[in-house]
Amino acid sequence: MSTPEPFADPRALTRSQVTAWRNALFVIFGVVGVGMASWVARTPTIRDSLQASTWQMGLVVFGLSCGAILGLLAASTVIEKFGTKAIMVFGLSAGGLGLAGAGVGAALGSFPLVVAALAVYGIGNSTCDVAMNVSGAANERALGRTVMPLYHAAFSMGTVVGAGIGALAEFLQVPVAVHLPLAGLVTAVVGVWCVRYAREPIVDAVEDAADTTTEPVVKRSWFARWADTRTLLIGLIVLGMAFAEGSANDWLALSLVDGYGTSNTVGAVGIGLFVAAMTVGRVAGVRLLDKYGRVPVLRVSAVFAVVGLSIVIFSPSIVLAAFGVVLWGLGAALGFPVGMSAAADDPARAAERVSAVATIGYLAFLVGPPLIGFLGEHFGLLNGLLAVLVLIVIAGLVSGAAREPARTTTVASGKS
């Protein structure tokens, strides 16, 4: 990696440059979603190939989570050193390699290879996640309107495509050693090609920071970055909603297969239904956020997620459970993108705060898989999902921390 280009002040960019930046991020978010769903949709087949128990599958996903945490802990430092564009290139490339390795490992029946490959995938995916969210928040300021949920809607659309391809691959019995390497290659190549249209956001500009703080912008230690109460509370919001989203990604397909006695194909379709609902929620959420603000929308979202997940757990039929999946997806849609926007409210601290909030959120992916796997092993996967409800309630209760600051908005042509 080389030293990043000078950070571009969004106010100096033309509208066409800002629009090209926005469109590039839509594609990047989308291909990251395709890659994630490609893995998730094939988890039943991967489990069968590895002959793994529910608890062992929890350990497989734990490998991915460990890689993700390592990437998140390093994200703010490497972004400050190399820039968001270089880190997106690295993350997309590493993610594609890890996805391919997981497919080959599953086909060989190699538990260690799958875990190691998913750890590489987790490192790449998480570093790219922080970089593209920091870039997206800066682009949102440059556009002068709410757009972050649309980026995450693009991610969700990508997961719909990935889940659909995964369901088709399951139906046609395409080997994971073919499907996942191809998915990794395509997502990496398309994503890296689009990075060239992105712009480096302001992360250290004292002039721009003066809009949101009266203190000089100085470099802070890694530990000092965790001392901000608002950042920690936003982290709890993201933690609860990431748990709501991540538990579906990791366990919904298996929960439907084991809990309702459905086929692997129906399990993959269930994931598609969930991510489709999330996509609708994120697209519709833009107007709701602009009209009502972050806090009321987050609180209603938490209610939807709790009701929907409860229906999935306790429903007597797969048809009613499908309705619950939709509510669950709608409820989980906005927590993560709104949390990222809230963490990046101060552009001078965006990289470190987005990294901190994302790290807290990714604890759901670190602790969640083995926890739900352990509970599922002893009480059934559907009952294991009861643990998710607690964190969703907490996220709803602390949603006030995401309230918008009273400040002016930066747009491509100046201040408004």
Beta carbons of 350 and 343 less than 8 angstroms apart: yes
For the range 204-209, what are the long-range contacts, defined as Cβ-Cβ under 8 Å and sequence gap of 24 or more? 204/7, 204/80, 204/348, 205/7, 205/9, 205/347, 205/348, 206/348, 208/9, 208/347, 208/348, 208/410, 209/346, 209/347, 209/348, 209/349
User: What domain count does the chain have?
Assistant: 1
Report if residue 362 sits inside a domain.
yes
pLDDT (tens digit per residue) in 179-194: 999 999 999 999 999 9
> Which range marks the domain in which residue 309 is found?
10-203+222-403
Report if residue 83 sits inside a domain.
yes
Report if residue 217 sits inside a domain.
no
Q: Which residue ranges in the chain fall short of pLDDT 70?
A: 1-12, 202-227, 348, 350-351, 365-366, 369, 406-416
Report if residue 4 sits inside a domain.
no
Report if residue 415 sits inside a domain.
no
CA–CA dist 220, 217 (Å, integer) = 9
SS percent in the chain: helix, strand, coil, step 5? 80, 0, 20
Report if residue 292 sits inside a domain.
yes
* Structure-token pair, residue 376: 């599922």
Beta carbons of 237 and 341 less than 8 angstroms apart: no
- Is the CA virtual torsion 299, 303, 308, 313 positive or negative? positive
Taking the whole predicted model, whether its pTM rises above 0.85 is answered as no
pLDDT of residue 365: 63
Report if residue 126 sits inside a domain.
yes
pLDDT (tens digit per residue) in 326-379: 999 999 999 988 988 888 777 767 667 877 887 787 777 667 767 777 777 778
Q: CATH number, domain at 28?
A: 1.20.1250.20
Beta strands in 118-191 (DSSP E): none
Report if residue 209 sits inside a domain.
no
